[in-house]
Amino acid sequence: MFTLAHLSDPHLPMPQARLFELLNKRATGYVNWWRNRVRLHQPQALSAVVADLKAAQPDHIALTGDLVNVALGAEFKLAARWLEALGSPSEVTLIPGNHDTYVATAWPESLGLWGAYMASDGAPPATGFDVFPIVRRRGPLALVGLSSGVPKPPLFATGTLGKAQLERAERLLAELGREGLVRIVMIHHPPLTTEKRFKRLTDATQFQAMIRRVGCEIILHGHNHRSEVARIAGPAGPVPVVGVASASAAADSKYGRARYHLLRFRADARRGGWSIEIEMRAINTGGAGCEPDGTLTFHTQQPLAMVA
């Protein structure tokens, strides 16, 4: 058995900004944080989630973005320290979200501080978005990390993968399928065509077409701050698309309380393929710990049969 923890959208507390840092899209997001979002995302909820996750001792951690809020330089530094406390780069695989790319920033002073967490096996720390998709093999799993985070105009929280990244992802997924690995796609935005216009993945249609051709075993995302399940077509049947709630959501948040998911992968010799059991863990009403909050179960086809 291999256990993977999935968490997303921690939205770490935002430090005070200097006026010149807000002379762009950050201004609206900064005001919105202090008026509304500061009550939705609570450090104590995130601490409870992380403590429970560490007690579970997963084999690896998948983190699908939005560590920061408006991409301030100080936010990236705080997030780098939080990441170090969560786990080493070999223990945590990270992809960026739209808030991590809220505005265009100089890579060395921003996402570059997390570069070791966004690098393929054997590669140096990421130095730009051209490293995506990244691939990390962990036991029977292949984590394929995509970046949908792109700076967008004010009031837009959309994401875009782009043609080049989709083409590289298709080649990688085909190769990993031939190796017989359980392919897990990590993406911040849900790759669905039913999402709201101002929050959607703009090339979800192209992403889904790619999955229909080469397949994968499961897709993990964040962004919506809700634990949710959908399915898209794959070459051997539906592929589950599983979103996780914000890891810092207050117990009374409009999105629901903070959660993370524990995915347990077991080989199924009788039926072939793999069974995937997802245990949802949520902060309790007191916010001092976590408790089970439902279970999902999926069965994959034999990965070798997924690609012609």
What is the rounded average pLDDT of the residues 230-234? 96
Q: Is residue 206 within 8 Å of 166, Cβ to Cβ?
A: yes
Please give the share of the chain, as a percent, with pLDDT higher than 90: 83
77-103 residue pLDDT tens: 999 999 999 999 999 999 999 999 999
Residue-wise pLDDT tens digits, 237-273: 999 999 999 999 999 888 889 999 999 999 887 777 8
Average pLDDT on 63-76 reads 97
Q: What CATH number is associated with residue 125? A: 3.60.21.10
Map tokens 């960026």 to a residue. 96
Question: What is the model's pLDDT at position 304?
Answer: 40
**Cβ neighbour number for residue 308 with a 10 Å cutoff:** 9
- Angle 120-260-107 (CA atoms, 0-180°, nearest 5)? 40
Q: For residue 229, give the nearest of 55, 3, 6 by alpha carbon.
A: 6
Domain limits for position 99: 2-305
Number of domain units in the chain: 1
Q: Is the Cβ–Cβ distance between 169 and 210 less than 8 Å?
A: yes
